[in-house]
Structure 1
Amino acid sequence: MRALIRREVPLAVPAAAAWEYVTDWPSQSDWVPHTRVEHADPAAPARGVGGRIRAWSGLGRIGFWDTMTITSWEVRPDGGGRCEVLHTGTVVRGEGEFEVVADGPDASRFLWSELAVVPGGRLGALGWKVARPVIERLLDQGLAVLKERLEGGPEEAARA
Structure 2
Amino acid sequence: MAETQTAAKPLIVISSRTGNTMILGHAICDALPGAVLVRPKDLPADLAPYNPVLLGFWRDLDDAPEEMRAVAPRFEGKTIGCFATMGGDAQSPEARDWMAKTAKRLVEAGRGNTLAQTFLCRGRFDPEAFGRITTMMAGRPGLEGEEKRRASDTHPDRLDLEKGAELFRSVFGMNF
TM-score after normalising by structure 1: 0.34
Bigger fraction of residues in strand: 1
**Structure ID, larger Rg:** 2
